[in-house]
Amino acid sequence: MTTVDERLGADAAAMRRALELAELGPARGVNPRVGCVILSPAGDVLAEGWHRGAGTAHAEVDALSKLEPGAARGATAVVTLEPCNHTGRTGPCAVALVDAGVRRVVYAVADPGDHSSGGAARLRAAGVDVTAGVLAGEVEAMLDDWLFAARSRRPRVIVKWAATLDARTAATDGTSQWITGPAARADVHRRRAAADAIAVGTGTVFADDPSLTARDDGGHLLDEQPVPVVFGRRAVPADAAVHRHPHTPVLLTGEDLAADLEELQRRGIRSLFVEGGPTLATAFLATGLVDELLVYVAPALLGGPHLAVGDLGISTIADAHRFRFAAVERLGDDVLLVAHPTTHPGGN
């Protein structure tokens, strides 16, 4: 007879394999990466599956499809995410597991979706034994950006700027290339590539005509490219460099940043890398919609009017937006400060 410890060990081992399968799926898009392992009553692996992207079979259904009818009766399904409970392009996975005769379901993290959650309750109502939270920390880490976007109904917002010791982002004549050195610039491009989208305001488009691409040291495009997003009411010129980006630019007014972020989340954007300029960074900071600051500081002084951040509407020190340092990195002659807000002033 299987002991509790043995069962917990088998659940964890199967979940680790499900996590490996999940990582085979696409890291970007509306849907999460999910893996599933189906075990026989004796603990042997009957089938494995993972989700390959929007419109394809979910991990549970993918695994079940590899079995003969009736082969999953009495089995245990180990899934990284709570089986869904809604009908979209595919049917509810909770129902598919019940119909297949699965006796037990083990999952790591609850589904935070308004429409897709509730699978565990549906399984229990059908008499299926459900265990939650197995290797939850590891799965949470893997699904970090997707879970944040699903729970917050918006992408994670990372605001970046490069500045001198006196917080200037450009000289008096407007020149800003280059405040920081090559190591810092390479780090920026690596982080661009890791983000789903990169954003600037129309002021930056007119002033700098940025390409908003992620490039290597030789100027070649990296394999992963963020979707370019431009905030502002002015029309982007037809010959702007952003129109030559590998992805079609997303144009948003910026009049309601919260609503704009919800729209980006609906488009499958999980992380937004805000690059410029000071007007856009200030708008995100003032509304409390910043989840991480990346401040590249060069050992130089410029003086003048071009500050990294404009007026935040703060009149007294007690109302200061407070952050905590998450990391401090030396990049050549420059320093990167990574900071997270201790509170969101906008209540988000």
pLDDT of amino acid 292 = 97
Cα within 13 Å of Cα(330), Cβ side: 2
Residues 82 and 117 in one domain: yes
The pLDDT assigned to 158 comes to 97
- Count how many domains the chain has: 2
Same domain? For 88 and 215 the reply is no
CATH of the domain at 32: 3.40.140.10
Residue 347 located in a structural domain: no
Catalytic residue among 60, 82, 275, 292: 60
Query: What pLDDT shows up at residue 87?
Result: 72
The CA distance from 57 to 168, in Å, is: 51
Whether residue 183 is found in the same domain as residue 311: yes
Give, as one character, the DSSP assignment of residue 170: S
Distance of alpha carbon 19 from alpha carbon 304, whole angstroms: 52
Sort strands 35-39 and 334-341 into parallel, antiparallel or unpaired. Answer: unpaired
Q: Is 60 a catalytic residue?
A: yes
Same-domain pairing of 119 and 214: no
Q: Is residue 346 part of a domain?
A: no
Q: Is 328 helix (H, G, I), strand (E, B) or coil?
A: strand
> Which pTM was predicted?
0.85
Total Cβ atoms within 10 A of residue 4: 7
* Model pLDDT, residue 348: 46
Q: Which residues contact 78 (CB under 8 A, 6 or more apart)?
A: 11, 14, 15, 17, 18, 36, 37, 38, 39, 105, 106, 107, 134
Can you give the residue range of the structural domain that contains 30? Answer: 4-149
137 and 96 in a common domain: yes
Q: Which residue has the tokens 């709570």?
A: 82
In this predicted structure, what is the pLDDT of residue 347? 44
- Provide DSSP, 174-230: S--TTSS-HHHHHHHHHHHHHSSEEEEEHHHHHHH------B-TTSPBPSS-PEEEE
For residue 221, tell me if it sits in a domain. yes
CATH code for the domain in which residue 313 is found? 3.40.430.10
Task: Please tell me whether residue 76 adopts helix, strand or coil conformation.
Answer: strand
Angstrom distance (rounded) from CA 119 to CA 94: 5
d(Cα 289, Cα 345) in Å, to the nearest integer? 8
CA distance 155 to 196: 9
- The answer to whether 18 and 80 are in contact (CB under 8 A) is yes
Q: Residues of the chain whose pLDDT is less than 70? A: 1-8, 88-90, 114-115, 344-348
Handedness of CA 10, 16, 22, 28 (dihedral sign): positive
DSSP output for 27-40: SSSSSPP-EEEEE-
- Angle among Cα 235, 237, 240 to the nearest 5 degrees reads 130
User: Which token pair is 299?
Assistant: 């050992």
Q: Examine the domain organization and report whether 105 and 216 are in the same domain.
A: no
